[in-house]
Chains A and B, each alone.
Chain A
Amino acid sequence: MKTASYSSEKNNLFLDGFLKFALVLNALGVFVPLLFMINSSFRNGADIYTTPLALAQGFDLTNYRLVLTEGKFLQYLSNSILVTAFSTLIVLICGAGAGYALARYQFRFNTTLYLFFLAGLLIPAKLALVPLFIQLKNMGLLDSRLGLILVYAAGAMPAAVFIYTGFIRALPADLDNAARIDGASELQVFRKVMLPLIFPVTGIVGIYTAIPIWNDFLLPLVFIRDTSKMTIMQGISVFFGEYGANWGALFAGLTLAALPLIVLYIILSSQFIKGMTAGATKG
């Protein structure tokens, strides 16, 4: 058989060199803007006007202090945590339950329900904004974090059910059958056998659900008016409106808002990646 010729080896070197160059370029493209943002957050706003490109002199925390106190960032942050955590919890619990039933129980509407949830994947909350607005108003849930939580949970449910159903279907039924034979009730089967088994995919569903909710801006923009209930992404836009002239503070605000996820990402990057591309990648 022919071995690789010299010229094709050279081509391979070029190819790999080019590819590595692309990666380096991408890395620069990712880091430089973020580092610039962080650098500017330590500078005085008026200085940024005069010398946009200069390096910060030390770690001046004035802007951060402004953002956290007058900028109410702590409040926005706590709201975001509240809304994201509760929504995700609801999705994990109800989604796992539905996924379990659809995967394990044979009944008349099984396929219909599965397709129903699948179809739910197609409906973006964005378009149903006005009906949701009026609906929440009628339910008295406008300008409330509970309203946000319910809408978010509902929006994320179809995907969660889809993932859980697929995953549980692939699990062998022997364990739960064995438990049933031993006399366990259905709830016990679910709790003691199923839940530990689906633990691996729970992390993925959790991340897939939580990150977009945390990052979301549109729903709070439309449903939340009271500044004490705003989430952090909405808070940024309010903050930009109030402090639009103080670029140092603006960059500090952006950095603070990005910080939580970036820190989590650094620790759990592979889980993040797996979670956020769930359903799109095989495995």
Chain B
Amino acid sequence: MMICTYFRANLQPGNADAAMLEHLRHCDACLDFAMSVDPDLFFRSLGGDEIVPPGGIDAFVGDVMSQVRVHDAETSLARRHSVSAWQRWAIAATVAAGVTGATLAYRYEHAAPQPVHIIAAAKPRPAATATKSFVETYSSHDATIVEMPNDGSDTKVVMIFDDKLPADL
């Protein structure tokens, strides 16, 4: 390390080299003198120190390493949970197939019993069936015709029992 007498004898304005600066930054006794020779050294006197973070270097390094471990754990977890492009396609295709299948099954289930519903709905409306099987005349030797009692309306209800009766009647 440079001695103070050498420093004071050799310091010139604007020519502080690394050795001069090192002396300036570590010698409080020469600070005033240096300022009077070269005021630009005012702020330069601050540099060069080994500045240690609060708590010391060991604690600092420990903190950094623990943060790195947490970061790594988070990253690996995120990686495990992240899906690649082809996986996304596979998931989308599976979901689409599932939805389509479920829709078809639903339709099938709800389409099959439809006649039952229609029949069930038709039951309380005998007038609808009456319009379909409107018989004006019928003659057969084997038929048994039962005439229902008239309730006062124009329509006469008749029950025909005949093995040869056409199916569409």
Q: Do A and B bind each other?
A: no
Residues in B lying within 8 Å of A, measured CB to CB: none
Interface residues of A (CB under 8 A from B): none
